Amino acid sequence: MKTAKVSFEDSIAEAVVKTGKCVGCGTCVLTCPFNCLEYIEEKPSIVKECKVCGICAQVCPQYDFPLSKIESFVFGRERKSDEAFGIYRRLALARATDKQILQKCQDGGAVTALLLFAFENGITDGAIVAKSELEKPFYPQPTLATTANDILQSAGTKYFYSPNILTIAKALERRLMKLAFVGTPCQIRAVRKMQFAGLKKYTAPIRHLIGLACSECFIYDGLMKEHVAGKLGVNPKRVRKVNIKGKMLLTVDSETVAIPLTEAKQYARKSCHFCEDFSSELADISVGGLGLEGWTFVIIRTQQGEELFSNAEEAGTITTKEASTETNALNLLIKLSVKKRTVAKELAK
């Protein structure tokens, strides 16, 4: 992609950070060739004089994102007007067959099952995922998983921002060449923008992009400290699972505590609402819970995604059902995709 070279201050700082649109993915920090940027409090901060190479502007998912061109680059065509949640080849519901995965995962464990299948069959040599911090339950720690146990231990959703992109640097240091990357829609867009810009140094090892559906991330101190510990009097260490199914549902020991979404949303990160992508529309495979119990809704978008999914299906690592059996989930996917895009466009005006 040829763009005029522009400084960090004149591009990202002015149009993204200052306006509140920065999602904190860290792609500019990862790719700055002169190490002028540091990742501080979920944002890029300039720590050295910018050399005006323009790379940060070329990779930022929130700055001048050429969606149609990137769709053509990834899928060979742009979406049609009725493709509300992006281009895809197949929709399915999937569930892991391994009991250990089912005990740790968020929905049907499809993500963890696919990651393990790829790793154990030599398709990948590592996965970039998000583990929960031991002392701060559900606080995500971007992690380079290089063992099956690492992959298993990282299962489950942490509804807080995990800058998984920054972990690409660790994979490069370790010279891993066949990575799976799990990320939120903004991170999948960032990886695609890096690929489109030809930054092979960072993207060549990434073989599979597994994109999570995401309406927004929450602020940890607000939700877990102020609300869960403060208002509800629940020690976050007693929370075994957080899920959203119409309400935010906390499994506390063996009981379920519900937080109405209107209350939970006061702790949503404002920057997430500038993101127009609900279902990781540029991923190889996108996944979401979409109100389902014990199943992952899977959108298979690319040939790489289809091969991985079909091979795992044939090997019995996942069991699948037709997505058409769950019209509510499909309708919710369309509704949330349209809503996120509309809100982002309104805010951008």
Ligand X SMILES: Cc1cc2nc3c(=O)[nH]c(=O)nc-3n(C[C@H](O)[C@H](O)[C@H](O)COP(=O)(O)OP(=O)(O)OC[C@H]3O[C@@H](n4cnc5c(N)ncnc54)[C@H](O)[C@@H]3O)c2cc1C
Amino acid at 154: S
> Is residue 156 involved in binding ligand X (CB under 6 A)?
yes
Nearest CB to ligand X, comparing residues 176 and 212: 212
Query: Is 105 near ligand X (CB under 6 A)?
Result: yes
| Contact track, ligand X, 297-336, x by CB under 6 A | ----------------------------------------
**Residue in 155, 160, 158, 207 with CA at minimum distance from that of residue 181:** 207
CB atoms within 10 A of CB 348: 11
Residue 164 within binding range of ligand X, rule CB under 6 A: yes
Contacting ligand X (CB under 6 A), which of 27, 58, 215, 317? 215
In whole angstroms, give the CA distance from residue 157 to residue 153: 12
Question: Tokens representing 198?
Answer: 């030809």
Contact region with ligand X (CB under 6 A), list: 32-40, 210-218, 259-267, 341-349: 210-218
Closer residue to ligand X in complex, CB, 117/196: 117
- Is 154 a binding residue for ligand X by CB under 6 A? The answer is yes
Q: Does 140 bind ligand X (CB under 6 A)?
A: yes
Structure tokens at 117: 């299948």
Residues in CB range of 149: below 8 A, 6 or more apart: none
Among 92, 130, 165, 312, binds ligand X (CB under 6 A): 130
Please report whether residue 217 would count as binding ligand X according to CB under 6 A: yes
Output the smallest distance, CB 3 to ligand X, in A.
28
| The two structure tokens encoding residue 197 | 């810009």
> Which window, 44-52, 55-63, 99-107, 193-201, contacts ligand X (CB under 6 A)?
99-107
Binding flag, residue 155, ligand X (CB under 6 A): yes
Distances (CA, A) of 145 to 22, 56, 105, 192, 296: 27, 27, 16, 21, 22
Beta bridge partners of 287: 212, 298
Please identify, among the stretches 21-29, 43-51, 69-77, 158-166, the one whose residues bind ligand X according to the rule CB under 6 A: 158-166
Per CB under 6 A, 214 contacts ligand X: yes
How many amino acids of this chain bind ligand X (CB under 6 A)? 34
Tally of CB atoms within 10 A around 170 = 15
Task: Provide the residue count of the chain.
Answer: 349
Position 167: which residue type?
Answer: T
DSSP character string of 30-84? HH-TT--EEEETTEEEE-S------HHHHH-TTSS--HHHHHHHHHSSPPPTT-T
- Does residue 112 bind ligand X (CB under 6 A)? yes
- Two tokens, residue 298: 């899977």
Interatomic CA distance for residues 57 and 77, integer angstroms: 24
Stretch touching ligand X by CB under 6 A, among 28-36, 61-69, 107-115, 341-349: 107-115
Q: How far is the CB of 83 from ligand X (least distance, A)?
A: 18
* Contact residue for ligand X among 11, 27, 62, 157 (CB under 6 A): 157
Quick one: which segment of 40-48, 209-217, 260-268, 312-320 binds ligand X (CB under 6 A)?
209-217
Tokens found for residue 136: 């701060």
The residue with its CB nearest to ligand X is 288
Region of 37-45, 159-167, 200-208, 252-260 interacting with ligand X (CB under 6 A): 159-167
> In the chain, helix, strand, coil percent, each to 5?
40, 20, 40
Alpha-carbon distance of 104 to 120, in angstroms, equals: 19
Q: Report the residue from 259, 287, 308, 344 that binds ligand X according to the rule CB under 6 A.
A: 287
Binding site for ligand X (CB under 6 A): 105-112, 129-130, 140, 154-160, 162, 164, 182-184, 212-215, 217, 244, 287-290, 296
